Structure 1
Amino acid sequence: MKWLKAMSTSVNMEMLSKTSHGTSCPWKGRAAYYTIKTDKTEFKNSAWYYPAPFEKATNIKDYVAFWQYNDGNRAFLQALMARGTMTFKQGQEVLSTIFTIQEERETAPDQVTQEDFDSYISAAADKISPFDYEIRTTVHQFTKEKISAIVNATSDPITQMATTRTQEEMFFVRRMIDAMFETYNTRRREVMGVTSMQALERKITKGVSGARQSEGGEQGADKGVTNDQAEKCLNGLVAEGWFERSKEGWYTLSPRALMELQTWLVTEYNDEDADAEDWQRIKFCEACKGIMTVGRRCGDLDCNVRVHDICQEAFFNSRGEKKCPRCQTKWDGKLFVGQRAITSTDEYLKGKRRSGGARKSQVEVEVDEEEVADEDEDE
Structure 2
Amino acid sequence: MSINKERAPEGFQEFVSTINQKLNLVDMEFRRSHEEDDGNPVWALVNTNGDEIAKLATEYSPVEISYFKRLIELIVTADDDAFSASSIMALKEASKIKTPLTKSAAETLLQRFVDDKWLIQSQNGKYSMSQRTILELQAYLKDEFEDYLIECILCYDIVTKGQRCDVQECKSRFHHHCARRYFSSQNEKVCPACKIVWKSSNIIGDH
- Same fold by TM (over 0.5)? yes
Residue 123 of structure 1, CA deviation = 8.5
* Match of residue 234 from structure 1: 110
After TM superposition, what 4+ stretches of structure 1 lie above 6 angstroms from structure 2? 115-124
Deviates more, 1:152-161 or 1:315-324: 315-324
Normalized against structure 2, the TM-score is what?
Answer: 0.87
* Match of residue 305 from structure 1: 172
Q: Cα deviations across residues 258-287 of structure 1 (Å, max 9, x unaligned)?
A: 1122222222122xxxxxxxxx41101112
Residue 164 of structure 1, CA deviation = 2.7
Aligned pairs for 1:69-218 (under 5 A) are 81=1, 84-88=2-6, 114=9, 128-182=23-77, 184=78, 186=79, 189-201=80-92, 204-208=93-97
Cα gap change, 1:307/1:122 in structure 2, threshold over 3 Å: closer, same or farther?
closer
Gaps of 5+ in 2: none
| Structure 1 residue 289 corresponds to structure 2 residue 180 | no
* Match of residue 127 from structure 2: 251
Residue 295 of structure 1, CA deviation = 0.5
Cα gap change, 1:258/1:227 in structure 2, threshold over 3 Å: closer, same or farther?
same
CA distance in 2, matches of 1:299, 1:248: 25
Gaps of 5+ in 1: 1-80, 90-112, 209-221, 271-279, 341-379
Percent of pairs with identical residues:
28
Output the aligned Cα RMSD: 2.6
CA distance in 2, matches of 1:195, 1:123: 43
* Match of residue 201 from structure 2: 334
**Is the contact between residue 299 and residue 335 of structure 1 (CA under 8 Å) also seen in structure 2?**
yes
Cα gap change, 1:177/1:85 in structure 2, threshold over 3 Å: closer, same or farther?
same
Residue 248 of structure 1, CA deviation = 2.7
* Match of residue 373 from structure 1: none
Q: Cα deviations across residues 194-243 of structure 1 (Å, max 9, x unaligned)?
A: 12232112xx11135xxxxxxxxxxxxx1111122222222222222222
Normalized against structure 1, the TM-score is what?
Answer: 0.50
CA distance in 2, matches of 1:238, 1:120: 32
| Structure 2 letter corresponding to 1:171 | S
**Is the contact between residue 139 and residue 145 of structure 1 (CA under 8 Å) also seen in structure 2?**
yes
Higher radius of gyration, 1 or 2: 1
CA distance in 1, matches of 2:25, 2:107: 36
CA distance in 2, matches of 1:176, 1:193: 9
